[in-house]
Amino acid sequence: MSSVKSFPIPSIQRLPVYLRFLKEQQGRGETLISCTRIAEEFGQLSVQVRKDLSLTGISGRPKIGYRVDELVDAIQLFLGWDRPTRAFLVGAGSLGSAILGYDGFADHGLRIVAAFDTDPKKIGQTVHHCPVFDLKEIVERGKGENIDIGILTVPSLAAQEVARLLVQVGVGGIWNYTPVRLELPPGVVCEEVKLSASYAVLSNRLKKNDLQI
């Protein structure tokens, strides 16, 4: 039994939030920071921040706090954001374009090497400095490129077929912006961005507010 200890997903999801704040502090020349300080910034409890940060293996010093540099490096290392992750994006529509245009991901080591689409009007163009190729060429263009992940921003109907192509390209993971549950071979991980789920939570909370008034 290989005892693959797995980390709390909510903690992992909070790390980028801390990272952003820590980088901001770093930019201001701050060298030390306490959990208390981070916690009050985000309306959380300091214990939780401490526990989250402990995932990275960094320890702080009583009465002092943590070294900002150390934390930034450790979080990035923990998330694998210290080295580039090479990606193909499929579906250069509005959503694909939004992802290509968001600088934040570059900070996370994400390098979108190429985009693919089936629309002749898009093929041959560049979107936010990223070339758009014909989807037909994706497997061929993937050869020797060492693509780590595929970003799926295609219409639902095309999702499974494109996922299959991405697997052929050799990706280890798919970042799935479609609402489709993909069938993938073991070893290929999939992370779904469920915007409807987020909207559902908002709707439900709005409704509850209404009823209370």
Partner DNA sequence: ATACAATAGGTATATATTTATCGATAACAA
Partner DNA sequence: TTGTTATCGATAAATATATACCTATTGTAT
Footprint of DNA on this chain (CB under 7 A)?
Answer: 8-11, 34-37, 44-48, 50-51, 53-54, 59-66
202 scored as a contact of its own copies (CB under 8 A): yes
129 scored as a contact of its own copies (CB under 8 A): no
Distance CA 15, CA 21 (A): 10
- Identify the DSSP state of 82: S
Specify the residue, 21 or 50, whose C-beta has the smaller distance to its own copies: 21
What does the block give as tokens for 99? 């992802």
With a CB cutoff of 8 Å and minimum separation 6, the contacts of 162 are: 90, 91, 135, 150, 152, 154
CB atoms closer than 10 angstroms to residue 8: 11
Stretch that binds its own copies, among 46-54, 59-67, 80-88, 134-142 (CB under 8 A): 80-88
Q: Which residue has the tokens 């469920």?
A: 194
Residues in contact with its own copies by the rule CB under 8 A: 2, 4, 6-7, 9, 12-17, 20, 41-43, 78-81, 85, 93-95, 97-98, 100-102, 104-105, 108-110, 128, 148-149, 172-173, 175, 179, 181, 187, 189, 191-210, 212
